[in-house]
Amino acid sequence: MTAAWEAPARLDTRLSVLTWNLWWRFGPWAQRQPAIAATLARLAPDVVCLQEVWAAPHGERQAEQLAAALGGYHVAEAAGVGFEFADHSLGNAVLSRWPILAVEERRFSAPAGVDELRVMLRANIDGPRGPLEVFTTHLNFRLDQSHVRQAQVRALCEFIAETTGSRTFPPVLCGDFNAEPGSDEIRMLTGLAAAAVPKLVFLDAWRAGGDGGPGYTWSNANPFAALDCEPDRRIDYVLVGYPRDHGVGQVVTARVEATSPVDGVHPSDHYALYAELRY
């Protein structure tokens, strides 16, 4: 008699990750800052990937302030765009519940006239159940620059592939890609088109663990987003390298967060994406 087949065991422990574009110092930023901090404190993810984070050249740094509000998270930062009309940079950051052992940033190259000084950032995190490599980025925003974003995705994947041999957990890639799931640049990442780097494919957390809805992170229900007169879109992602044995890295759940005002103000023009992975 043939023994009954049993599904392989899956890890039960989780890693929570959140990605969020914070809309720099636009709009009523002084009122938005405590709303951002309150939202992060409520969700308390293990790892936070942020875009459009501001920093003064020799003073306040938004990422450091938010890390302190979370009870002393560790911080990795990469400054990108600098504005001629302001003293604050715009960049990306990773906040981690656990120590960050190493940080590396790279600037994207871009043709003249379309260089938005975008950056990619890697944080090597000393997690309690093994090391993690978390990447965050923010790609060019214009609708007519898919070709630029595709080039950025190729460069990003080459950067991620450099440390493939040292990873024991799939790479986690988060950010504002300014591109919808059916775009060429996202399809390159998710196995729906030729991969930018052979064998480097990511699972889209919303597709794998969302509730089946549209998952919009740019929504006209948000009055700040509505100012741009653009359609609702899903452009912010948590992406996880293809899971390994025992479901390591598998997306368990994903949900859109930061959709409601806090003390009368929306924290950002983007909604956040929260995901839990087997870790």
CA-based nearest residue to 110, from 78, 154, 152: 152
Quote the strand ranges of the chain, DSSP E: 14-21, 47-55, 74-82, 89-96, 100-107, 119-125, 132-138, 172-176, 202-204, 236-241, 251-257, 272-278
Secondary structure tally for the chain: helices H, strands E: 6, 12
In the predicted model, residues of the chain with pLDDT beneath 50 are 84-85
Residue 197, both tokens? 């780097």
d(CA 236, CA 218): 8
Q: In which residue are the tokens 């930023």 written?
A: 29
73 by Cβ neighbours in 10 Å (0-12 / 13-18 / 19+) ranks as buried
d(CA 133, CA 113): 32
In this prediction the pTM is: 0.94
Q: What pLDDT does residue 83 have?
A: 52
Reported as a single tens digit per residue, the pLDDT across 165-220 is 999 999 999 999 999 999 999 999 999 999 999 999 999 999 999 999 999 999 99
Q: Give whole-number Cα distances, 213 to 206, 232, 248, in Å.
A: 9, 13, 25
Q: In which residue are the tokens 């780097």 written?
A: 197
Q: What pLDDT does residue 259 have?
A: 98
Length of the chain: 279
Q: In what order do the strands lie in the sheet with 89-96?
A: 74-82, 89-96, 47-55, 14-21, 272-278, 251-257
Q: What pLDDT does residue 20 have?
A: 98
| One-letter amino acid of 147 | H
Q: What pLDDT does residue 247 have?
A: 83
**Residue 136: beta bridge partners?**
121, 174
Q: What pLDDT does residue 81 have?
A: 63
Q: How many CB atoms lie within 10 A of CB 227?
A: 12
208 φ, ψ to 5°? -85, -30
